[in-house]
């Protein structure tokens, strides 16, 4: 029954809705015949070995993990990589200044010598995948408790991965857990660390609409950025060097200018970060009330302070642009996720599935003997850690992910002089960048506000000891405490870092108040983890057994594993949707919508356009990038299954030609990490023709267009 398959894959019971063929995040190394047949039935024209092959060049060789947090696609024989503007935003920000404001004005490298290096960036190519479940689980004995089991599994996973780099130092082996820790697969990667910025559109294109339009459809954002991969001798990975040359990839993604129509096949390849489709209702409820709500409450306060300061100063705007962008993205995501989980009744539907599973366990002797109390025990485990888990979420957001002075203290405390020289260099650069993008007055305002906000959400038992000092030493004034802290610490400025790195004997690091604060917070975090230790182990065990039981319950069904930052395939069709009664959204937007939004929001800088961009868009001179109707399409939507990390994923047509870049999901289906809702969930992509139009016509970078393989 297709209804039952949909229940499982979306972690819900929806007897009235048939499963859609486009649901799923499928592993390329584990595509079964049913899935490949479904691909063909939906119109995909490539053979399976042309999509994935561990030995010969295939489409997967054009897709990369970009920096470990986004996806990208290789589009030229000289290593050009397309990803999203918001994925490259931090790199653009690092190269920007008031005099060279690449965030606002965009960036174009007119020659390869002008392409800008980014030491913190890398791209990762998947070479092959291998099922190593039997080997990993061979270390597990029946008498092991969950802690011992986890240790045994982890040790084998690390050993299997390490064998790859021992055979070839340019390769990285990573073993990941799937299906709640019931299966294990080895992925073999090759990383390239010399990645240079080539082209970035102005924010009026790449961030058009900013927070207001984020996660929304209709969308008019040209969310793309161009980088180039460089290699050393023999086309092999190498650290940055001016002597490196453009990398020549195994496979280059061809580009289509034909566009798409509603109902056309559409496929994404990328590295989705994390989903929880098989999580119990208890786990979903914990996430809603814990980390999601903490991000909503705390980041909202922090971002409001940042935004006021950014609007008042170009220098602060550039310093805080990337931090604000990242923070606000997850803040709005948490708001939308909790809203959708409630509106779509996800908890109630999940509980229905769990009641059915419990009935099956009672009726099945082999299951009843070992799993009769599975769901009851799982519920109790979550209940046992509820208060501490919520307090920990607020502690992390308020302090360890809040004031940047605390983050600096933690970075210095964790600095390892004995690490690999490359790691030391990267860690040091990370600390230096924090100082470069820090404004002490802004950080004081944030710290003061968060000190006031944290106690509003947690029980008094979970207040850090600094609150005692505020009450007894500073007369209850959070601001007085903050001012004193920043005045007394040596690490508020780069001079303190310099003394630390030079082993200055006059710097008594563990007497520094900011360092002591960092230690106190880490200690409290550790104590919280210890309080939850037994419950955590019970939750891990219960979720693993729950996942396995559901798969046995639907033994004749196909299962895709939750996303875990490994390469995944998703396929579906280009199509619009109905977000509400009487409302229909079509499947594409055009430049006309950009101009309309700019006029409607003319007083808002987030929708402002440069005069030359307005002239270009109004001219109608779109050349070969115009749709067959003569329009310039900007964005489009499909029902592909995506999540965070898919940003920058290649969107291909049935012939494996590039149609665009995925960059967002839609507001009505923000619960998609827990539930795939076929009526509502859409993947938002930027049309490749708009990307090329901006590069060639606005950026005047025809040399880049000449590199591409355009069909």
DSSP state string for 29-84: GG--HHHHHHHHHTT--S-HHHH--SSS--GGGGEEEETTTEEEEE-BTT-EEEE-
* Alpha-carbon gap, residue 227 to 249, rounded angstroms: 14
SS in 3 state form for 78-107? Answer: CCEEEECHHHHHHHHHHCCCCCCCHHHHCE
Closest by alpha carbon to 661, among 82, 266, 205? 82
> Residues 683, 272: contact at Cβ < 8 Å?
no
> Residues 64, 645: contact at Cβ < 8 Å?
no
Q: Torsion angle of alpha carbons 192, 197, 201, 206, nearest 10°? A: 40
Q: What are 492's two structure tokens?
A: 């508020």
Q: How many CB atoms lie within 10 A of CB 629?
A: 9
Alpha carbon separation from 289 to 285, 381, 397, 538 (Å, rounded): 6, 16, 14, 20
* Alpha-carbon gap, residue 218 to 312, rounded angstroms: 30
The helix (H) or strand (E) run that includes residue 374 is helix 374-384
Q: Which of 22, 223, 439, 443 is catalytic?
A: 223
Task: Estimate the crossing angle of helix 314-343 against helix 346-363, to 10 degrees.
Answer: 50
Task: Estimate the crossing angle of helix 404-413 against helix 421-436, to 10 degrees.
Answer: 160
Strands ordered across the beta sheet of 588-590:
26-27, 568-573, 265-270, 650-652, 658-665, 683-687, 633-638, 588-590
Cis peptide before 218 (omega within 30 of 0): yes
Closest by alpha carbon to 643, among 692, 553, 570? 570
Which single residue is written with the structure tokens 């948490």? 334
Q: Which of 65, 71, 86, 280 is catalytic?
A: 86
The helix (H) or strand (E) run that includes residue 652 is strand 650-652
Note if 223 is an active site residue: yes
Count Cβ atoms within 10 A of the Cβ of residue 53 and give its class: 0-12 exposed, 13-18 middle, 19 or more buried: middle
Note if 86 is an active site residue: yes
- The distance from CA 581 to its chain's CA centroid, rounded to whole angstroms, is 32
Note if 647 is an active site residue: yes
698-709 residues labelled b (16+ CB within 10 A) or e (exposed): bbebeebeeebe
* Alpha-carbon gap, residue 249 to 235, rounded angstroms: 9
Q: What angle do CA 528, 534, 536 make, to 5 degrees?
A: 70
* Alpha-carbon gap, residue 424 to 552, rounded angstroms: 47
Q: Which of 90, 647, 671, 672 is catalytic?
A: 647
Distance linking the first and last C-alpha atoms of the chain: 41
Which residues lie across from 195 on neighbouring strands?
229
Active site residues: 86, 223, 647
């Amino acid at each position: 029954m297709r209804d039952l398959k949909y229940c499982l894959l979306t972690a819900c019971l929806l007897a009235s809705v048939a499963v859609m063929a486009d649901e799923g995040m499928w592993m390329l190394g584990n595509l079964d015949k049913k899935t490949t047949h479904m691909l063909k039935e939906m119109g995909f024209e490539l053979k399976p070995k042309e999509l994935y092959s561990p030995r010969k060049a295939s489409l997967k060789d054009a897709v990369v993990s970009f920096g470990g947090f986004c996806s990208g696609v290789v589009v030229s024989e000289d290593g050009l990589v397309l990803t999203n503007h918001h994925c490259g935003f931090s790199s653009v920000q690092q190269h920007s200044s008031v005099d060279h404001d690449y965030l606002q004005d965009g960036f174009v490298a007119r020659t390869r010598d002008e392409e800008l290096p980014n030491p913190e960036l890398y791209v990762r190519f998947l070479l092959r995948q291998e099922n190593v479940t039997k080997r990993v689980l061979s270390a597990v004995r029946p008498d092991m408790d969950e802690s011992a089991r986890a240790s045994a599994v982890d040790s084998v996973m690390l050993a299997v991965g390490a064998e790859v780099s021992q055979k070839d130092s340019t390769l990285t082996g990573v073993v990941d857990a799937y299906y709640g820790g019931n299966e294990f697969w080895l992925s073999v990667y090759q990383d390239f660390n010399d990645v240079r910025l080539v082209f970035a559109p102005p924010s009026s294109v790449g961030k058009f609409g900013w927070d207001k339009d984020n996660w929304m459809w209709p969308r008019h954002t040209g969310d793309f950025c161009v980088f180039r991969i460089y290699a050393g001798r023999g086309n092999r990975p190498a650290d940055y060097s001016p002597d490196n040359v453009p990398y020549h990839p195994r496979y280059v993604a061809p580009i289509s200018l034909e566009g798409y129509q509603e109902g056309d096949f559409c496929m994404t390849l990328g590295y989705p970060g994390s989903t929880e489709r098989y999580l119990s209702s208890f786990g979903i409820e914990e996430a809603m009330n814990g980390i999601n709500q903490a991000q909503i409450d705390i980041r909202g306060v922090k971002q409001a302070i940042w935004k006021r300061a950014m609007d008042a100063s170009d220098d602060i705007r550039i310093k805080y642009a990337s931090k604000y962008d990242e923070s606000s993205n997850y803040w709005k995501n948490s708001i939308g996720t909790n809203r959708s989980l409630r509106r779509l009744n996800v908890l109630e539907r999940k509980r229905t599935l769990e009641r059915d599973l419990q009935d099956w366990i009672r009726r099945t002797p082999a299951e009843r003997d070992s799993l009769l109390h599975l769901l009851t025990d799982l519920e109790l485990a979550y209940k046992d850690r509820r208060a501490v888990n919520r307090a920990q979420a607020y502690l992390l957001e308020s302090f360890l992910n809040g004031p940047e002075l605390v983050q600096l203290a933690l970075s210095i405390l964790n600095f390892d002089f004995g690490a690999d020289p490359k790691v030391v260099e990267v860690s040091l650069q990370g600390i230096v960048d924090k100082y470069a993008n820090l404004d002490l007055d802004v950080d004081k305002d944030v710290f003061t506000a968060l000190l006031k906000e944290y106690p509003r959400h947690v029980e008094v038992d979970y207040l850090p000891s600094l609150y005692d000092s505020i009450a007894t030493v500073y007369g209850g004034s959070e601001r007085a405490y903050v001012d004193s802290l920043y005045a007394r610490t040596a690490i508020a400025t780069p001079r303190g870092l310099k003394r630390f790195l030079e082993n200055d004997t006059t710097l008594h690091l563990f007497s520094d108040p900011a360092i002591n604060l960092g230690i106190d917070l880490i200690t409290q975090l550790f104590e919280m983890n210890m309080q939850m230790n037994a419950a955590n182990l019970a939750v891990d065990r219960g979720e693993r057994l729950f996942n396995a039981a559901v798969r046995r319950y639907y033994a004749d069904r196909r299962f895709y594993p939750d996303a875990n930052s490994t390469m995944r395939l998703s396929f579906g069709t280009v199509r619009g949707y109905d977000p509400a009664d009487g409302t229909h959204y079509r499947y594409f937007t055009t430049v006309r919508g950009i101009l309309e939004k700019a006029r409607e929001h003319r007083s808002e800088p987030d929708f402002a356009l440069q005069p030359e961009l307005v002239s270009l868009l109004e001219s109608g001179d779109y050349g070969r990038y115009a749709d067959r109707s003569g329009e310039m399409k900007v964005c489009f939507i499909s029902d592909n299954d995506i999540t965070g990390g898919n940003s920058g994923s290649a969107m291909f047509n049935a012939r494996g030609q590039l149609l665009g870049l995925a960059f967002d999901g839609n507001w009505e289906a923000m619960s998609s990490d827990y539930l795939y809702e076929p009526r509502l969930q859409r993947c938002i992509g930027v049309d490749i023709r708009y990307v090329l139009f901006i590069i060639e016509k606005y950026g005047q970078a025809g040399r880049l267009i000449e590199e591409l393989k355009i069909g």
